Every structure is written in structure tokens, then in C-alpha cells.
């Protein structure tokens, strides 16, 4: 009978400096100076895309504008 293999669903742990970089905080060690592919993988695996935005080439994630201001009413 074949053995059912399970895929590892856990994400590998990240450091405190990487957590700070994901939140757009400074100082974050030298995380922001890593290779773009490494940062893209970190963002894809652990980034909070609903609260922050990041594109390759940016220094770090930027908070999204959560509240929209309506003028005139």
C-alpha cells in the first residue's frame, strides 16, 4: 500500500529584523540591503498585503492608506 506523504505547511521562522522590515520599521538590520529575489520571496511568504504594499526596488514596505477622506460632506 502506498505511503501518503504530507507536505510541510509550516513556514520557516523569520528573524526579528525581518519582521521589522515586513512592517516597514527601521532599524531593521541589513534586511533591506539583501538581494531583490530574497526580499521578494520573504514578502510573498510572510508579507501582509492587506496593510502594506511593496514592489521590487523599494527600500521597504509602505503602509497602505486605510482610511479614505471624503471632502465636501
Is-contact 36 56, C-beta < 8 A? yes
Q: What is the pLDDT of residues 18-65, one digit of tens each?
A: 999 999 888 888 998 999 999 999 999 999 998 999 998 888 898 887
Q: How far apart are CA 33 and CA 8, in angstroms?
A: 29
> Is the pTM of the predicted complex or chain greater than 0.75?
no
Amino acid at each position: 500500500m502506498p505511503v501518503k506523504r504530507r507536505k510541510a505547511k509550516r513556514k520557516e521562522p523569520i528573524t526579528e529584523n525581518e519582521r521589522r522590515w515586513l512592517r516597514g520599521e527601521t532599524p531593521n538590520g541589513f534586511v533591506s540591503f539583501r538581494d531583490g529575489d530574497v526580499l521578494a520571496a520573504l514578502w510573498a511568504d510572510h508579507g501582509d498585503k492587506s496593510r502594506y504594499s511593496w514592489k521590487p526596488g523599494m527600500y521597504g514596505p509602505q503602509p497602505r492608506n486605510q482610511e479614505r477622506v471624503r471632502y465636501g460632506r
